[in-house]
Amino acid sequence: MIHFQLVSLSGTKFDDDVYEVVLPTLDGNIGVLKDHMPLVSVATTGTIMVRRNAKDSDAQCEFYATNGGVIEVSENTLRVLVDEADHAEEINETEAQKALDRAHKLKAEAKDQLSLEHAQQLVDRQAVRLHVASLKRRRNR
């Protein structure tokens, strides 16, 4: 087992022993298991998947939408520090879709590079939240 801590600006989102965590990084998704080599990396906007036990199916995994941060692996402890992290159960799919639509509108109306980059970040964030909400819906069928 590896101890996983997910901490956002609003507080600790997860703090428990798990079998596996899959995280989005600049180089793509990485899986962290027991005895993973020491690592410090950048987490990108994406989905964090947590598998509590080796025999858990994908449908039993927990999902979090994050917008990037820092990953540290050391001595069977994985710490991920992010600005925001939303558990799949916390995301309202209808609200996430409306937020994504607003973000697309902001992007279309952007008048300068800074506004365009900010709007793209909002689009990416809301797209991930909507994806994680859809994972929850599929799991609950």
Give, in order, the Cα–Cα distances in Å from 19 to each of 57, 85, 92, 111. 12, 20, 28, 47
What residue segments make up the domains of the chain, in order of their start? 2-88, 91-139
- Percent of the chain as helix, strand, coil, to the nearest 5: 35, 45, 20
Q: Say yes or no to pLDDT of 52 above 60.
A: yes
Which of the following CATH numbers is that of domain 2-88: 1.10.40.50, 2.60.15.10, 3.40.50.300, 2.70.98.60?
2.60.15.10
Q: What is the pTM of this model?
A: 0.88
Q: Say yes or no to pLDDT of 132 above 60.
A: yes
Contact in structure between 39 and 46 (CB atoms under 8 Å): no
Looking at residue 139, its pLDDT comes to 60
State pLDDT tens for residues 70-120.
999 999 999 999 989 999 988 988 898 999 999 999 899 989 999 899 989
**DSSP classification of residue 52:** S
Looking at residue 141, its pLDDT comes to 56
State pLDDT tens for residues 23-32.
999 999 999 9
Contact in structure between 74 and 50 (CB atoms under 8 Å): no
Distance from C-alpha of 18 to C-alpha of 2, rounded to nearest angstrom: 5
Contact in structure between 126 and 119 (CB atoms under 8 Å): no
Looking at residue 47, its pLDDT comes to 94
Amino acid (1-letter code) at residue 23:
L
Distance from C-alpha of 80 to C-alpha of 61, rounded to nearest angstrom: 18
Looking at residue 59, its pLDDT comes to 83
Q: How confident is the model at residue 135 (pLDDT cuts 50, 70, 90)?
A: confident
